[in-house]
């Protein structure tokens, strides 16, 4: 059915169930399908050239437009809050207010840095960010069959849009919900627009009433791509889901997180820097027999 599911990086806890979902997605066809995806470390790579690939936040945080003092403060915030975000012993209820606090403090700091709208393209160009191998096939295939790609990101919308644009795959079927910058009339960042999106509120609470969400409500077959537990709720606002296939990239702390990921995601991809599995599934669903 999908040869890529035999790849060494693939783990599936319930193979018969997954095969059934993929068959249903194919039967329902392209007109019912949408792809809902996280961006950082899902569409973009986790690692590249032996190190960590930058995220849409770190691209900005580590760029030349941030002062030495600003960079230090951002690093201190990361060192304090990141262990909270990834702590397996804390509940979501405990994490939520702390994530709001972290994102808000980062955004306030960035707004003090005199960042100019005109600098963003160059910042992205100099960053070394990479989309996962196979990104062109994924984006082009979805566009060819008019399948919406809905990117739901707790990163920075202006940065991730620029990454996609520079990769020449920002097609008309893409919509993005993320944290967007607000610039004054002279093009300087003054604040971030609401609502604030962090790792653990990626659900319909921040989507209600948005135009793109109304359009996507008729698309009842879903492929969801994510890399964290917070990504599992990204499709919660779609009113009547017929079939949903959840694909999770397990990028880090693989052994200790494997069980949790296998329980939550239909397909788990361990240390896989490609989109081969998603592309294989899409080829099977979208190609006429």
Annotated active-site positions, please?
38, 40
Residue 37, beta-bridge partner list: 151, 225
């Amino acid at each position: 059915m999908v040869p890529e599911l035999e790849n060494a990086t693939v783990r599936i806890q319930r193979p018969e169930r997954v095969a059934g979902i993929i068959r249903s997605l194919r039967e329902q066809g392209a007109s019912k399908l949408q792809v809902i995806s996280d961006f950082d470390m899902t569409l973009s790579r986790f690692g590249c050239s032996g190190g960590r690939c930058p995220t849409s936040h770190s691209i900005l945080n580590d760029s030349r437009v941030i002062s030495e003092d600003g960079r230090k403060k951002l690093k201190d915030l990361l060192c304090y809050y990141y262990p909270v975000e990834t702590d397996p012993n804390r509940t979501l209820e405990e994490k939520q207010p702390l994530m709001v606090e972290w994102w808000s403090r980062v955004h306030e700091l960035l707004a003090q840095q005199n960042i100019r709208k005109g600098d963003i393209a160059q910042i992205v160009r100099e960053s070394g960010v990479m989309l996962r191998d196979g990104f062109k096939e994924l984006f082009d295939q979805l566009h060819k069959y008019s399948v919406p790609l809905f990117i739901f990101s707790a990163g920075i919308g202006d940065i991730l849009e620029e990454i996609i644009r520079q990769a020449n795959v920002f097609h008309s079927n893409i919509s993005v919900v993320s944290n967007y910058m607000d610039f004054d009339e002279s093009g300087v960042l003054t604040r971030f627009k609401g609502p604030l999106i962090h790792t653990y509120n990626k659900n319909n609470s921040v989507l209600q009433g948005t135009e793109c969400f109304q359009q996507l409500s008729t698309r009842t077959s879903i492929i969801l791509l994510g890399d964290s537990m917070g990504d599992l709720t990204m499709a919660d606002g779609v009113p009547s889901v017929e079939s949903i296939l959840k694909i999770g990239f397990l990028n880090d702390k693989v052994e200790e997180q494997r069980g949790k990921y296998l329980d939550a995601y239909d397909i788990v991809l361990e240390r896989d820097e490609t989109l081969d599995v998603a592309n294989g599934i899409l080829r099977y669903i979208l190609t006429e027999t």
